A and B are shown apart, each in its own frame.
Chain A
Amino acid sequence: MSTVAPHRPLDTAIIAARDREDIVVGSEIVRHRRASRLIHWSVAVTFFLSTLTGMPIWTPVFGWMAHLFGGLSVARVIHPWAGIAFTLASVVMFFHWLGDMRFLPSERGWLGPKALEYMRYQSDDSEVGKYNGGQKLLFWATSLGMVGLLLSGLLIWFPRAFPRLLLEFAYILHDVTFIAFAVAIVFHVYLGTAAEPGTFGSMTRGTVTRAWARLHHPRWYREVTGEDSRRG
């Protein structure tokens, strides 16, 4: 029998991140408290469940995904319920983050030049608060998309309850919304992982490094630490 590993106490940052965010704990800053992270991940899980069960129904190109669930019929059964779960999670998320997601005048242009500048690492981020314009844009876009997916999904779920033409539009809406959504999520994941190292931790441990905060969200860094982000 192997010996039991010695107990290592949780570090203080993790403990602090259970209930509070936007605070400095040692060398780290708590960015997302546990509730925020749970909400995020429940949205993520239900989204991927919906996606993985929906994509094989969408096109046989992704037919293989159905095997993850025991076949296309099972995927078909899971998909609408996963969609409902995704909707519920998204609604909670919406109200959870709504307060942080108001656009500032300076964030105009994120639909166009600003996003490009950002991706080229040429943007001036000095006034970026806890969330940058892209994140806010994603928030609003996904919230809207969620409504689109829900409404069109319900129509598709109960086809005989609705007029034929409406139904045809529902298919289009469901697909268009999903495609937009999926493209956005690809970039969301990319930016949250590979493109911006250190970000992922904010949704796992809940914390980021001071350097990360200074780099990506300088104003937020200033507000949390009271320091000038340009120093240090």
Chain B
Amino acid sequence: MSAQSLEIRRSSASVWGSRSGLRTVPTVSKYIDTTTCIGCKACEAACQEWNDLESVATRQTGTYQTLPTLDSQYWNLIRFNERDFDGGIIWLMRKDQCMHCEEPGCLAACPAPGAIVQYENGIVDVNAENCIGCGYCETGCPFDVPRFHATTGKMAKCTLCVDRTSVGLEPACIKACPTGCLQFGTKDDMVALGNGRVEQLKANGFANAALYDPQGVGGTGVVTVLAHGDHPEWYDLPADPHVPILVRFWKSVLRPLGVVALFGAVLGAFAHYTKYGPKEVRGADDPNSNLPQA
């Protein structure tokens, strides 16, 4: 799988990726079952350890959640949400990380060629050597994932352990999960697994159970089983994520229009010169003057 999976399907600020087209590689996906996640944070520790991320300063603010949101040095965060439900309470835990969208908003927004790539297996990754740290991907991402690292001046996020997955290993977070609520495999397999679990949940009284694989971004490389699938926002998930319409407009409409306008202006000036020539002082009575006679 190794070299094949590293072929690039899409690349930021580039028209084409760099796929050889010689082989097809299945799209991979993480599977997160929030109904069997116990919020143990083994995935957080594994992510930090495998990726050699520096420690982040945290403090107890009245929650089990390690940080308020993801951080450039903290790519994997269990989000804890407690709420009243059906006369009792529920405590929802969801592993938050890059969703590896089929149509990544970060990649769409990124201005640096090759800084964000989507590999042939669907993994969306930041190439630090090409990243210019502009932060556009932060705005492009509907899941609020990429983060600017102040020291390196680069954007950082979950790589889906591309270094592990490209040699046939599961991502570090998956490896560390003690309950098996995290799985890794082909997108098709993970969706099948998720649908099975959703059916089981429905049979157990969770009528709104659903597999979160939002089509607004073409589906994600992380499929999530939600017991309360009608309320993804309870899990800090957007109900209908898509690449922001303004980002799309900006990148797909405004930018080409702007380029046309700029070249148009230059051409216009040139055309003007060709037609009218310089507005020149040639003496007031110059018969060749192109100026109207006073």
Contacts and interface: CB of A to CB of B under 8 A. Distances in A.
Interface of A: 57-61, 63, 72-73, 75-77, 119-122, 126, 156, 159-160, 164-165, 167-169, 171-172, 175-176, 178-179, 182-183, 186-187, 190, 194-198, 209, 211-212, 214-216, 230
B279 A76 contact: no
Nearest to A170: B139
Nearest to A162: B139
A171 B247 contact: yes
Contacts of B265: 182-183, 186-187
Interface in B127-154: 130-136, 138-139, 144, 148, 153
A230 B257 CA distance: 45
A63 B133 CA distance: 16
B246 A169 contact: yes
A168 B264 CA distance: 26
Contacts of B255: 58-59, 175
B13 to A, nearest CB: 5
Given A72-B112, A172-B250, A179-B261, A167 B132 contact: no
Given A119-B272, A195-B278, 12 more contacts: A57-B134, A58-B255, A58-B258, A63-B13, A168-B244, A171-B247, A175-B254, A179-B254, A179-B258, A182-B262, A186-B266, A194-B278
Given A76-B134, A160-B148, A171-B139, A60 B269 contact: no
7 closest A-B pairs by beta carbon, nearest first, are A168-B246, A76-B132, A190-B269, A186-B265, A211-B281, A179-B258, A183-B265
Contacts of A186: 262, 265-266, 268-269
Interface stretch (B161-169, B174-182, B286-294): B286-294
A176 B259 contact: no
Interface of B: 13-14, 111-113, 130-136, 138-139, 144, 148, 153, 244, 246-247, 249-250, 254-255, 257-259, 261-262, 264-266, 268-269, 272-273, 276, 278-281, 283-284, 290-292, 294
A77 B139 CA distance: 19
8 contacts: A57-B134, A63-B13, A172-B250, A175-B250, A179-B254, A195-B272, A195-B279, A209-B281
A66 to B, nearest CB: 9
B281 A172 contact: no
A165 B250 CA distance: 13
B129 to A, nearest CB: 9
A186 B271 CA distance: 13
Contacts of B290: 121
Contacts of B13: 59-60, 63
A168 B247 contact: yes
Given A59-B255, A197-B280, A171 B133 contact: no
Contacts of A59: 13, 111, 255, 258-259
B189 to A, nearest CB: 34
A37 B125 CA distance: 49
Given A179-B262, A187-B265, A160 B132 contact: no
Contacts of A160: 135, 138, 148
A172 B255 CA distance: 10
Nearest to A77: B153
A121 B259 contact: no
Most interface-central of B111, B130, B244 (chain A CB within 10 A): B111
A121 B273 contact: no
A121 B134 CA distance: 45
Nearest to B134: A76
Given A159-B139, A195-B272, A172 B258 contact: no
B281 A121 contact: no
A168 B272 contact: no
B294 A156 contact: no
A53 B255 CA distance: 16
A215 B279 contact: yes
A190 B272 contact: yes
A190 B273 contact: yes
Contacts of A60: 13-14, 111, 113
Given A159-B139, A160-B138, A212-B281, A172 B259 contact: no
A196 B278 contact: yes
B14 A195 contact: no
Contacts of B138: 159-160
Given A60-B113, A159-B138, A182-B262, A196 B250 contact: no
B247 to A, nearest CB: 6
A187 B264 CA distance: 11
Given A58-B255, A178-B258, A198 B281 contact: yes
